[in-house]
Amino acid sequence: MARPPKPLILREAVVEASLRIIDTEGLAAFSLPRLARELNVQAPSLYHHFSDKAEILAAVARAIVLDTRVPDPKSVPNWIEWFVALSLAFREAMLRHRNAMPLILQYPPRDVVLRSYGSGAEFLQELGIPEEQVVVIVEGLDALTLGAGISAAARGGEPGRPFANVDSTVDPRLAKVAKANKRSATGVFADVIRAFLRGAAPQVPETAAPPRVWGRVASGDGKVAQPAS
């Protein structure tokens, strides 16, 4: 398709409008004609910045990850709570855009993710964790956080207690333990991350300090920073 002689819209505007459509109307509602109407342009204008629909959706997935509000290391007391806060922040970013959740799996923004993983791996090694165990922790945190985000999104982002609606006549044991739990889904997820880290790195004192800075992946506004091109 021929491109118009000059761009009428910015790349950022295309991504923002795409995410707005998906957030409010659902992923199935997204199309290039719908996007063009949202931006009040002709569809060919979109091709100044993107080669096709897939490239736009990949940019949307990247924007969701970049929406993670990275916590200030000074705001947490120790290394475990730092990773808890970071995992919660990523989960919250996914839930702010839960209609777009499939895009993170289909178009994972590897440049941003790998940069974050690299910084996390460096910090874990500074704590004295053996290299072979660092991969276990990084992979585990990724799997737990993505899984928690997908699970919560599937439930509509409900903030209530896990398994609160289990039928006691069908599964009385699960209903009993679910009733005993007084934490929200967010609280349970935070405790899952704590338990995982304590078990995966028992040699590190829980009182060990959080990272001094997280500037390699966090910008000044507290969001995950785009790597330099």
Output the domain CATH number for residue 42: 1.10.10
Shared domain for 47 and 73, answered yes or no, is: no
Q: Specify the pLDDT at position 7.
A: 54
Q: What is the CATH number of the domain that holds 99?
A: 1.10.357.10
> Are the CB atoms for 35 and 15 separated by under 8 Å?
no
Q: Specify the pLDDT at position 201.
A: 97
Give the domain extent around 155.
69-200
The one-letter amino acid at 16? E
The one-letter amino acid at 173? R
Shared domain for 97 and 27, answered yes or no, is: no
Phi then psi for residue 8, to 5 deg, are -100, -15
Q: Specify the pLDDT at position 219.
A: 39
Query: Quick one: tokens of 99?
Result: 């209609």
Radius of gyration of the chain measured on its C-alpha atoms: 20
Q: Specify the pLDDT at position 162.
A: 79
Give how many domains the chain has, as a whole number.
2
Q: Specify the pLDDT at position 45.
A: 86
The one-letter amino acid at 34? R
Q: Is residue 83 part of a domain?
A: yes
> Are the CB atoms for 39 and 13 separated by under 8 Å?
yes
In tens digits, the chain (229 residues) has pLDDT values of 445 555 557 899 999 999 999 999 999 999 999 999 999 998 888 888 899 999 999 999 999 998 888 888 889 999 999 999 999 999 999 999 999 999 998 998 887 877 888 889 999 999 999 999 999 999 999 999 998 888 887 776 556 777 777 788 888 888 888 888 888 889 999 999 999 999 999 999 999 999 987 654 443 344 444 333 3
Shared domain for 43 and 142, answered yes or no, is: no
Among candidates 188, 199, 214, which has minimal Cα distance to 82?
214
Q: Is residue 211 part of a domain?
A: no
Q: Is residue 64 part of a domain?
A: no
Beta bridge partners of 218: 224
Q: Specify the pLDDT at position 212.
A: 85
Q: Is residue 124 part of a domain?
A: yes
Shared domain for 140 and 27, answered yes or no, is: no
Its pTM surpasses 0.75: yes
